């Protein structure tokens, strides 16, 4: 593939590892003229990048004992990914939001019908109308739920002044790639890519021997596409948030998240309450009581859209061993970046979050996390591989915290409902019901 300008992703990685001299004129497009493949990347790189802030510049290092060198081939699915002209002008429209849906274990009918909570959602909608958001996700073997995923992301994005969707497929064995191509070919609000990691393979299952290493590579490539779109924006300050999702949240009977709870998050008002310098207190021995720094809605002051935390994660709910248990123990950290086997076992049996509040911790994900774009751009952090027992989100969030962006929490009403032997119940109420 002949290119007259520097390959965008290759250059971003080169910049991250201090080799920007190899990329004169970085920021230009490098897209294949071969429309039969639309191949946009053939790159040899090492993905083990431990970025940090050092004298005001992002630097990186390579870990010789954790070499992730691999050949990556990134293909576009659908139309060629260029900067959409529609993003040059702010444009939002009232959401097609006719109801609020709240999971039963979180608050259910009482919260959905509460007039103050509905007012909170309305404030979130109003705040979003002046903000910009990028919605990015990994997809793998989600053939049947591709339309649902995109429709939900668009429903969230369309309430913002600007939005764009970026999806990265890898190694699907069903029709996911074809479905993404069909969805993206005539779309000007979505970039869709397919990535082949020829050496470190595809995402595989939860029990894959090198699952974390693979996910580090995939998440890093997706993050670089986010940075690419921001870099192409004439005014980079228009991007306020990044919503990072796992694209399988609506697959195989899972209910995923409801857009109204994203608006509830944006309308949350912490008032004078401040996040603790230490993310949480302590977790007592089993039977556990998970004690954390919790901030309830104060109903005054700026909304979370105006005064964002660095990261806010969803509350991923499983039906096992009982409905409403918090599911993503792998990415969760309370007071320490390390997690004992006892803590993990306790979480997997007993941890529940409910109520209209922010729960401050050190790390989380739950298949959906909302990042302040400022924390992404100023921290300069990359996804890095530590070992197979350490979640890639933990190392990413530790880098952010070390860079001064460690205000991280969980918003219980923003649930990501998983089908584990059934799904948790939800209650929906007409929007505006008194």
* One-letter-per-residue 3-state SS of 102-118: EECCCCHHHHHCCHHHH
Which regions in the chain score pLDDT beneath 50?
Answer: 1-71, 198-205, 279-289, 433-434
What is the reported pLDDT for 198?
47
Hunting for tokens 């999702």 — which residue is that? 245
What is the reported pLDDT for 255?
96
Q: 164, 163, 167, 160: which is closest to 145 by C-alpha?
A: 167
What is the reported pLDDT for 12?
40
Residues 176-214 pLDDT 10s: 999 999 988 888 899 999 987 644 444 444 556 888 999
Angstrom distance (rounded) from CA 370 to CA 391: 18
Angstrom distance (rounded) from CA 237 to CA 378: 12
What is the reported pLDDT for 152?
96
What is the reported pLDDT for 80?
74
Residue pair 77/192 in contact by the 8 Å Cβ criterion: yes
Between strands 99-103 and 70-76, the pairing is unpaired
What is the reported pLDDT for 340?
78
What is the reported pLDDT for 414?
98
Angstrom distance (rounded) from CA 332 to CA 280: 12
DSSP-derived letter for residue 333 is B
Angstrom distance (rounded) from CA 406 to CA 391: 17
Percent over 90 (pLDDT), the chain? 59
What is the reported pLDDT for 285?
35
Residue pair 392/364 in contact by the 8 Å Cβ criterion: no
CB atoms within 10 A of CB 14: 19
Contacts of 133 (CB under 8 A, 6+ apart): 156, 157, 160, 162, 163, 239, 240, 241, 242, 243
What is the reported pLDDT for 432?
58
Contacts of 196 (CB under 8 A, 6+ apart): 72, 73, 74, 75, 170, 171
Number of residues assigned to the chain = 434
Domains delineated in the chain = 8-60+68-76 (no CATH), 89-430 (3.90.550.10)
What is the reported pLDDT for 15?
36
What is the reported pLDDT for 63?
28
Query: How far, in Å, are 185, 288, 326, 332, 334 from residue 283 at the CA level?
Result: 50, 7, 15, 13, 8
Residues 225-242 pLDDT 10s: 999 999 999 999 999 999
């Amino acid at each position: 593939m002949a290119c007259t300008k520097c390959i965008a992703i290759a250059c971003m990685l080169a910049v991250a590892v201090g080799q920007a001299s190899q990329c004169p004129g970085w920021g230009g497009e490098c897209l294949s003229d071969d429309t039969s493949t639309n191949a946009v990347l053939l790159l040899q790189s090492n993905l083990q990048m431990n970025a940090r802030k050092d004298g005001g510049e992002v630097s990186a290092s390579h870990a010789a004992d954790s070499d992730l060198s691999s050949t990556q081939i990134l293909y576009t699915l659908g139309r060629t990914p260029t900067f959409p002209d529609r993003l040059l002008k702010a444009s939002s429209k009232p959401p097609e939001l006719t109801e609020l849906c709240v999971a039963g274990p979180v608050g259910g009918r009482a919260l959905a019908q509460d007039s103050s909570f509905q007012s909170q959602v309305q404030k979130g909608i109003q705040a979003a109308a002046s903000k910009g958001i990028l919605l990015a996700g990994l997809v793998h073997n989600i053939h049947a739920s591709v339309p649902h995923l995109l429709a939900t992301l668009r429903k969230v994005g369309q309430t913002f002044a600007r939005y764009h969707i970026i999806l990265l497929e890898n190694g699907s064995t069903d029709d996911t790639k074809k479905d993404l191509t069909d969805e993206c070919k005539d779309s000007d609000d979505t970039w869709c890519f397919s990535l082949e990691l020829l050496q470190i393979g595809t995402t595989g299952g939860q029990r894959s021997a090198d699952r974390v290493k693979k996910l580090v590579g995939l998440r890093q490539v997706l993050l670089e596409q986010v940075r690419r779109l921001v870099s192409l924006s004439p005014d980079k300050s228009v991007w306020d948030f990044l919503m990072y999702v796992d694209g399988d949240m609506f697959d195989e009977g899972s209910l995923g998240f409801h857009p109204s709870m994203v608006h509830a998050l944006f309308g949350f008002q912490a008032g004078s309450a401040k996040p603790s310098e230490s993310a949480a207190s302590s977790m007592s021995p089993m039977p556990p009581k998970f004690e954390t720094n919790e901030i309830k809605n104060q109903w005054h002051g700026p909304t979370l859209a105006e005064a964002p935390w660095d990261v806010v994660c969803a509350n991923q709910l499983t039906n096992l061993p009982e409905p409403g248990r918090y599911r993503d123990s792998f990415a969760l950290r309370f007071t320490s970046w390390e997690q004992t086997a006892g803590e993990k076992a306790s979480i997997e049996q007993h941890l529940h979050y409910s109520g209209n509040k922010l729960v401050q911790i050190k790390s989380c994900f739950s298949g959906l996390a909302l990042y302040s774009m400022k924390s992404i751009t100023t921290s300069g952090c990359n996804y890095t591989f530590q070992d197979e027992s350490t979640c890639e989100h933990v190392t990413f969030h530790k880098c952010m915290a070390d860079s001064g962006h460690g205000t991280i929490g969980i918003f219980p009403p923003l649930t990501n409902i998983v089908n584990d032997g059934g799904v948790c119940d939800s209650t929906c109420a007409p929007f505006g019901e008194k």
